[in-house]
Amino acid sequence: MHQMTLAEIARGLADKKFSSEELTKVLLARITQLDPQLNSFISLTEELALEQAKAADARRANGEIGALLGAPIAHKDLFCTQGIRTSCGSKMLDNFKAPYDATVVAKLAAAGAVTLGKTNMDEFAMGSANESSWYGAVKNPWNLEHVPGGSSGGSAAAVAARLLPAATATDTGGSIRQPAAFTNLTGLKPTYGRVSRWGMIAYASSLDQGGPLARTAEDCAILLQGMAGFDQNDSTSIDEPVPDYSASLGDSLQGLRIGVPKEYFSAGLDPRIAELIQNSIKELQKLGAVIKEISLPNMQHAIPAYYVIAPAEASSNLSRFDGVRFGHRCEQPKDLIDLYKRSRGEGFGAEVQRRIMVGAYALSAGYYDAYYLKAQKIRRLVKNDFMAAFNEVDIILGPTTPNPAWKLGAKNSDPVAAYLEDVYTITANLAGLPGLSMPAGFVDGLPVGVQLLAPYFQEGRLLNVAHQYQLNTDWHTRTPTGF
Ligand code: GLN
């Protein structure tokens, strides 16, 4: 039962082959049995899950239908869930029970999805390895000595290990696509503003975007359908109609113009990954796509710009955690300053503190122009590169990551080495564009992802290309041994 995709579950429930309650019990037992090896969950919500599953079964018995009605999922632990711990992977929020549901959580619950729990993540979504979580590192089910990627590593490891079919995640600089690549999943970062950020604990507000992590493009379409849409509570949410993402999956790729940026195949890319990317290009050519070399000349400036903008926004967003209103409070503060200092010093981990310091520095009076303003200008150049490229092509294709998943601990002493791994993903966040990663093969038994980028609001095109690719390849069907 645990091998089923969301699409298969929806068919099984519609055909009354099993109930949502039965399936939920099977998956909860599987999580209890296998998750100690992975550490992919921070909280299990068994009671809520069973309640939601029974309610979904009752709705189906009353004739209601829906792809998510009775479908088990989990939420990355930065989506607020009313009355349930929402930790953001931090000691700071270990005792925080959200007073309301995030819009994404409420929408999926209304569609009948069943919440099995909250997944582990890098602290405040800062990281690419899921090692900065206060709840401990998450392991990659493909090799337990390797990282699953981050920051949505818990959602990725859980789905890859078949503990559940799909989960929500967020992507500020790659945190949906990179863990998808590292664990053989399909993950989609939507256009900025497509999915509401209301109730999603902010890391870098101008970059953060929620999206689906699942095994197939077909399942990403189902989950995204339940997440996307205008929300008046989020002032950056965009009031555009949500298309039927499943409807366009079957479109032909004949004549599809795929751009391959020459900058992607530089020295930093593992040649074995480069070869798998070339294979995926050939596969898409067989399906009728036309390949064109393009250039993204400002790509080299994206990492430095991102690692100024994201920490700058984080330093501002995280100032609300002051030990007064919510979250961790130190014991017996001497005075107000001591309360702030010790609450924040004890509540935040090293990576979060590093970013707050970098961000506060970049925003300070004497340095604002030199760092923050300059980074914003680079951001515009990166966007302009994409706009020029999309005049010529329909999709941009390349690797999701320069290397496969590294060993746990391998980059702990060198944060910049980890930042450099984001080279292919962060440009989409800087420009606000949608991006998808899908399985493209293996290197040393570790999964490799191919990334597709599309113009604004063309999530349907990304899902269509990925689905057609998955109809003709079987990488996405591979299961990690032991799971
Ligand atoms: N690795 C990037 C960072 O640490 C991206 C993280 C994310 O997308 N949340 O900021």
Task: Give residue 412's pLDDT.
Answer: 87
Task: Tell how far the Cα of 139 is from the centroid of ligand 1, in angstroms.
Answer: 18
Is 173's C-beta closer than 6 angstroms to any atom of ligand 1? yes
Q: Contact 482/265 with Cβ under 8 angstroms?
A: no
Provide the residue type at 412 as one letter: N
Judge whether residue 144 has pLDDT over 90: yes
Can you tell me the distance from the alpha carbon of 131 to that of 178, in angstroms, rounded to the nearest whole number?
Answer: 14
Ligand 1 lined by 359 (C-beta under 6 Å): no
C-beta of 128 in contact with ligand 1 (< 6 A): yes
Q: Nearest residue CA, atom 5 of ligand 1?
A: 173
Q: Sheet holding 210-214: strands in order across?
A: 41-44, 114-119, 72-76, 166-170, 210-214, 186-189, 435-443, 446-453, 395-399, 257-261, 290-294
Contacts of 158 (CB under 8 A, 6+ apart): 31, 35, 38, 40, 41, 74, 119, 164, 167
pLDDT in tens, 349-393: 999 999 999 999 999 989 999 999 999 999 999 999 999 999 999
Mutate to test the pocket of ligand 1, among 119, 124, 172 (most ligand atoms within 8 A of CB): 172
Q: Is 127 in the pocket of ligand 1 (CB under 6 A)?
A: yes
> For residue 208, how far is its CA from the centre of ligand 1 (angstroms)?
9
Q: Are 310 and 296 in contact (CB under 8 A)?
A: no
Nearest to 178 by CA among 360, 403, 457, 471: 403
Cα–Cα dist 109/115, whole Å: 8
Out of 175, 178, 421, give the residue to mutate to test ligand 1, the one with the largest number of ligand atoms within 8 Å of its CB.
Answer: 175
The CA distance from 50 to 260, in Å, is 47
Could you tell me if the CB of 174 is within 6 A of ligand 1? yes
d(CA 40, CA 332): 34
The answer on pLDDT for 97 being more than 90 is yes
Would you say the CB of residue 126 lies under 6 angstroms from ligand 1?
yes
Q: Which of the listed residues 77, 120, 126, 307 should we mutate to test ligand 1's pocket, taking the one with most ligand atoms within 8 A of CB? A: 126
Q: 22: CA distance to ligand 1 center in Å?
A: 36
**Single-letter amino acid code for the residue at 176:** I
pLDDT band at 292 (very low <50, low <70, confident <90, very high): very high
Closest atom of ligand 1 to 152 CA is 9
**Residue 141 in contact with residue 161, Cβ under 8 Å?**
yes
Residue 326 confidence class, pLDDT cut points 50, 70, 90: confident
Is the minimum distance from the CB of 394 to ligand 1 under 6 angstroms?
A: no
Q: Relative to the CA of 351, which ligand 1 atom is closest? A: 4
Amino acid at 217: A
Cβ of 308 less than 6 Å from ligand 1? no
**311 CA from centroid of ligand 1 (Å):** 10
**pTM (2 decimals)?**
0.98
Question: Measured in angstroms, how far is the CA atom of residue 19 from the centroid of ligand 1?
Answer: 38
CA-126 nearest atom, ligand 1:
4
Mutate to test the pocket of ligand 1, among 78, 147, 203 (most ligand atoms within 8 A of CB): 203
Please say whether the dihedral angle defined by the alpha carbons of residues 197, 106, 24 and 46, taken in this order, is positive or negative: positive
pLDDT tens digits, residue range 169-198? Answer: 999 999 999 999 999 999 999 999 999 999
d(CA 124, ligand 1 centre) in Å: 9
Q: What is the rounded CA–CA span in Å between residue 156 and residue 467?
A: 19
Atom of ligand 1 nearest to the CA of 310: 10
Report pLDDT digits (tens) over 103-134. 999 999 999 999 999 999 999 999 999 999 99
CA atoms within a 13 Å half-sphere pointing along the CA-CB vector of 480: 28
Please give the domain boundaries of the chain with CATH numbers for all domains.
Answer: 6-255+434-477 (3.90.1300.10)
Q: What is the pLDDT of residues 4-55, one digit of tens each?
A: 999 999 999 999 999 999 999 999 999 999 999 999 999 999 999 999 999 9
pLDDT(67) > 90? yes
Per-residue pLDDT at 267 exceeds 80 = no
